[in-house]
Structure formats: structure tokens, C-alpha cells
Chain A
Amino acid sequence: MNLSKRAIQFLKTLFQYKSALAGSAILLILIAISIYTVIAIPYEQATYLWQAGKDIWLDNPRNALPSWVNIFLPKKLPETITLDTTRNQAGVTKIIVPIGKEMSKVITEMSFIYNYDDFPSEINLFYESNFTSSPPHLTIYWENPEGVKFKLKDLTVSNKGAYYLSSDEHLMKMLQDYMKEKFGKDPEYDITPEIGLFAKYDETILKKETASPLKGEYRVVIEGVLFEKGSDVDLKLVVYGKVCGMAGTDHLRRDLTIALLWGTPIALSFGITAALSIAIIEMIIAAVSAWLRGRTDFILQRITEISMTIPFLPTLIMIAVFYKLNIWTLLLVIIALSIFGPGVKTYRAAFLQIRSFPYIDAARSYGASNIRIIFFYMIPKILPTIIPSLVLSVPDFVFLEAALAILGLGDPIAPTWGKIIDDAFSAGALFKGYFYWIIEPSFLLILTALGFALLGLSLDKIFNPRLREV
């Protein structure tokens, strides 16, 4: 039977076990995600995006939930509405009317339909203008579906800037006064512009719990004056929703899917590389130790024993505190700290047994060298038995990286699941109720562990027949 037939036979035996099927399915999905991610979003691009440099994420809401939660919610959370004069969009019109030789008037009208059951999280108006010395001047008006109009602000633009409606105190006071005048009493909370501009103007607005948005068409009209000939102003209105993307966003408005996707290949390659390297190196050390015996054995075993008594995690933490590690250096450090570990002892015991097998004697008798015996006769015998423990150890390293990241000692750049959890903790996610932010990376971590555990357990049953049920 050649290699492929043996492989097929092996797979048949393996997939008798449902746990193996489940585990392999999970791992295949994770691998597929990894491959897709690596191709679709190259690493440099991912890290660039994840650095959250200046304006990359400005179009995203902060701490938004994944969009699909709307399927399950009775009250539909708003999506982000973006109206941009630079794009050809329905609902955006811009007219420039020259006045005289130099000046012109620019009237921008942005209208949108708002049909959600909840208020937006934020409203921003971005502008960009090309002028030399005289900045254009804008006046911004708001109109709700019932025709109630407000003048929001007068402003003089710069080359690039934004009008943050949500933090405009003047606007807040104006809305506050408007309500007081309309209903005779103060609202019971501080009305923010997201609520104030979108609410139904009835008694319900007085209590934050009862306030609800007015559905219909909203218009924002920006009248501007351009003082220079040839200058222009572009505007972008972003009405930030509360849901965004497949996985939501974080406090820096970053779409979490990027980190979740990229976390997959990083987690898999980190875990597998660590587990594989450590197992192989431990095995070689054990084989050399068991075969050569005498002084070599003595020295290697004492090194192993000393290494095993050194506490692993505190040492790792110490190193991470003193040296800023990137993720691949971290991998090397973990491997270096682990290779003289308990595996050496276990494998050495197995090798000592194998050493006295007749076929090893036979190999010596026809002249096999020590190296040959170690690598061609002893290691292949033990290889099947180390595979289950190898597979089962992968999640340990995945969690280790995540744990270090959560402690703030991981790679500051790499978009990993642990990093997401770290950011979430630092931003007080659980305290603020942003559960999705923690659950998503945790779920993926657990799923990875589950996949390897299921597969590892069924491999264990195959390679250690004593565990097999008759």
C-alpha cells in the first residue's frame, strides 16, 4: 500500500468518530477564512487600517453593533447614512451660482429617508475646500419630515475640517429651549442633537426612554458663499448609525471584521507553529538524550529539569515587559522557553523503551550510524503517538498569545483576537454594555480551541488504542 492509500485508509478510520468530523469541519472553516483573509486583505493593508490613522475610519460609527442584529431586534437600529457631494448620489444636489466676478453662491441640499426605530449615534458634517486666502462661509439648516426647520450653525471653513453636530453645545441649548417653549417644561434629560433633531416632537420627547424618532424625509440645506473665483467646497454629511458591518466597530470606529478575520490566520499559524516546533525540538532532544545516554543524557536532563522549574508565564511576562515584542519574536521566545519542557521527559521515556526494540539492535548490526538510528528508526516509531498531544496543545498557544495581548504585553500592531479583547477591556466594554466587542473574539478563540480539541481527542483514540471502546 503506497502513501495515498494509507492516507485514505487513515482518514476513513478517523472520520468514524463524529468528534473528528466536527473538529475537522471547524478547522477547515477557520483555514478557509485564513486563506481568504490573507489574499483579500494583504497584511500591510490590514496593519495600516488597524493603526487607525487619521481619517480612515471616520465614516464609521463608534462602538456599533453588527448589522445583522437587526434581524433579531424588534426596534430596528439605524445604519449609517452618508451623503457626499463628491459622489454622484441621489438625494444630494449642489448648485453653484456665481455672484459677480469673484464670488459665488453654493447651495447644497442633502435629503434622506430615516425609517429606523432608534436615534443615530452621532452626526458629523465634513467639509473640504480649496481656497487660497479667503475661506468660504457656510450656513447650515435642518428640516425634519414635519417641516420643522432649524438653523444649525454659521461657520467659516478651513481647507479640511468638520462640524461635529453632536458636540455642538450651542445647538443643544437651542434644542433645549425649543422644547421648553413648546411643552412648557424642561425635558428630563439633556437633549443631544442626535435625539433632538430626529425625535417626534410630542410629549414623548420629554423623557429619554419614551423619545422616539420621527420617520420620514429629512433635509439638510447648506448655503455657502465662495469668495474666490475657482474655489469650491465639498461636503459630506454622516448620520452615524448604531450598527455597522458584519462584526460591529470599536471605540476607534474600526470595523472589527478586519481584526477578527486577520486574527484567524495569526492565531492558527502562531498556535500551530509553536506546537509543532516545540514538539519536534523536544522530540529530537529526547531522542538524542535517550540514545546517547551517559554524559549527554545527564546534561540534557538536568537542563530540562531546571527549565521545568522556572515558572513559564511570569518569565514570559517579565520578558514582554522589558522588551517590546512583536508577535513573531514572541513566538520565538515562547518556543525557546518551552523546548526543555515536560515533553522531553515523556518522549525520552518512550525512546528508552524503543531503544531496546530488536529492530534497533538489527540496525546497529548492519552499521547504521547514531544519527540514522535516531531519525530514521526511533523518531518514526514515536511520531504517531505525539500527534494527538501536538494537536491538543495548539489551543494552549493560541490562548497564550491572547492572554499576553490582554495583559497589554502583546504585539501593539498586529490585529489579533487578543488585541481586540485588550482594547475592549481598556475601553470598559463590559461596563458600557458593548458585549459584542468581547464576545466576538472570545467566541472565535473558543471555537478554535474546540476544533483542535475535538480533532485531538479522536486522534488520541486512534493512536492510543487503549482508549478505544471495543
Chain B
Amino acid sequence: MTDTYLKLVNAGSTKTLAKKLGLPRPAVLRRFVPGQPLVVGPTLVLGSADHGAPRDATDAVARLLVAWGLDVRRDPAQLEDGARWGAVVVVLTEVETPTDLSSALLALGSTLRTLAPSGRVVTLSRAATESDVPAVAAARHGVDGALRSLAKELRGGATGNGIVLGPDLAGTDGLGVPSVAAALRFFLSAKSAFVDGQLVTVGSSAGTVPSDDAGWGAPLAGKVAVVTGAARGIGAQIARVLARDGATVVCVDVPPAGDALAKVANAVRGTALQLDITADDAGTRILDHAVGRHGRLDIVVHNAGITRDKLLANMTSDTWDPVLAVNITAQLRMNEQLLASGRLADAPRIVSLASTSGIAGNRGQTNYAASKAGVIGMARATAPLMAPLGGTVNAVAPGFIETEMTAKIPAVTRQVARRLNALQQGGLPVDVAETIAFLASPAAGGINGEVVRVCGQNLVGR
């Protein structure tokens, strides 16, 4: 599970050698540690309307960042010699025509050579819709292409991500919207280390932001979360991160994984529930346990999943059926039971694990990709059912993550697979977990039915 190459090109004589040979040099990503500064270095806020009125939205972003204690600048020239930008936030909510993009984006471009390692670029824009004037839609959708491209140009572990205001937020500048603030904070922070080239749409003003730093430090305080497949790998890490953020975690896995599950449950001071999620009453049993033992159920993370890779020509029901049963059918059945029960806490959150295989496709994984694309379909269709409860359902699609599972991939294939993204490395389970914790937080209530990739901007797929 160790990326030896990444270590070699970042230290000692092998670093020098790699530099001289011009080998790809993936950066060591800055990852979240409680108490660390949100951004290292000054943050630049750029706006499309900087050279004319109105500047409201840009000003509002700047004020918000100042309130978070960031060192905020408004002009690319305001950088001391030798200093580097920790982050650049580009406010593009007011663009009316494609030509409006140039000033802010060119200003952004002028800062990229002075962006700090693991620096951040975050755009704020509006969704293009069918009812927009064509020129407006072109300008708004143009942001997508620019963001995804510039993210691929960033080096040194820097990432570029975008926040898109949905059509229902047309009348707002976005900054009073809890999930816009929450997404901005997430993308700026080290928690989004392996999230790159992603545009997340905030659809509504639902959700509540913490009132102070202590609140941002424990966004899930008082919440009860269930994580399936929690015995090892990504699931175990999700349990740890949710617990770190203040949640009481019910760790679920199949009975044969019970020993590893107990260790995770004890480490996060939660409870272990040995349960096969394909059981007909799995959703009800999860509810009974969470509500019975911990008084409520706020968050469900559908992480449990299996693979049975075969070319479709060689596929049988033995390899097809279990994958669909565990990865999607069980989730559908559990969600039905959870929603019908009326026993979920207010503003519940469901986060489901999809996969980049379900987006871009992967040879030998028709079964897995069907199930994971199914998860995306399910999330989109379940979102309207969760909204009346103030709830959300979202999918997180990991790319190449360093786990026991990917460690079994043959060495050369593995080396190639982990370099095929803009960050030129595999992600860690904690990267997936951080994104899930963000989507599960009360502040993310306006993000519903979305798919967020944690893939270091995989070179294929959206």
C-alpha cells in the first residue's frame, strides 16, 4: 500500500536524479491534521466584475474568508517577494458573456507560478440552464471547461475545484448559502487533498454552518452515523474520520469480518454490528441498533462493496449477481426501509460509494461498473425523496485509492494506474473519508443528488 516511487522522487539523491531525468514527480499532498491552518499563505480573491460594478459577491467571499482568519488579498500584485499564494478564489457568478471570463481567469493565470505546494484554486459560478440566455449559459458553462483544464495544469499537489450555484439560488450571491460556505472551506482545506477538477453544485439554502472554529472542528457532534463495510480499508477510515468529527459511529460488516470490525469499533468508541447487508431486514436492523443504542440515526454511509472481476464474455451469475446484490440492491432496499420508517433524525444524510469505474468504465468490471453507475442513478433519484426531510443523498466516486484491494493489482499495472491522474498518485482511504464526512455534515444540506469524485482528477471520465 506504500507508493515507493512517490517517496523516492521526493527525497535525497533519487529526487535529484528524477529531476534531471525529467521523470514525473508526484507531490506529497498536504493532508488534514486537526488544528492546522485552513490555508498556508495568503489567499487571493478574484472576481469577474473587478473592473466594473457590481463587486458584491466578490466582496462577500473576501469578508467570509477574513472571518475565517485567512490573510485575504484582492490584487495579484499584493504578494511579497518569495511568498506563495496559499489559495486563489475566483468569483465568476456574474459573468454574462464568454468575454467576461477573461479578466479573472487571466489574473488567475498570472498567479499560478506562485501557487504554494498543495495550493488551492476554487471557482464560484452559476449553473448553466436551458432557460438561460444562450450567451449567459455559454459563459457559465465555460467555467467548467476552464476549471477542469487548469486543474490539470497545476503542479506540486495543488488542486482546482469549483462550486456551482444551482438554478434555485439565482437570486442570491451564494455566500449566505450554508453549503457554499461549507464547500468553499472544504475545497480550501487539506481535507480535499485528492479531490481535483471537481465541480459541485449547491442546489438549495438547506443546511446550517457552525458558528465558530470549535463548531468547524467537530461538525458531526451529537450525530449518529452508520458505516457499512467498516472492518477495513476505506470503510474503517470513514468510521475514524466521522468519529474524529464528533459522530458516534455504528460500524457494520459481515459476521466473518467481526474481529477487524471490533477493533475499529473500539478505536472509534462506537459499536460493532455484525450484519450481512444483503439480509432482507438489514435496514430495519441498522435502524433498531442505532436508535435503540444511540437514540437516533443521522448519517448512513453505504460503503460495503465487493468486486468479482471478469470479462463479460467469461461472466457467470456467480460473478455477476453477488456484486449487484451487495453494491446496489442492498443499498436500495436499506434506503427504502430507512425512508419508510419515519425514524431517521431530522436532516438525515446518506452517502453512497460509487466508483470512477461506474463513470468512465473499466475493462473486466461490467458487473462492478453496473452496480456503481447504479449507485449514481440511485443517488440522483433518491435526492428528491430526501429533500422534504431536509436530508440529502450523494455519491462519492473514488478513483485509484491505496488499499489492500488495489495492493493486489499486479505491480506494473498498479504503477500505471496510480499515475493516470492529475496528481500522479493514488489517493488514501482518508481522502475518501474526508469527502464523505463533508457531505454528511449539517453544513452540506444544500448539496443533494451530487457525485463527487475523489480521484486526483483521473484522466478519463468527467
A binds B: no
User: Which residues of B are interface residues toward A (Cβ below 8 A)?
Assistant: none
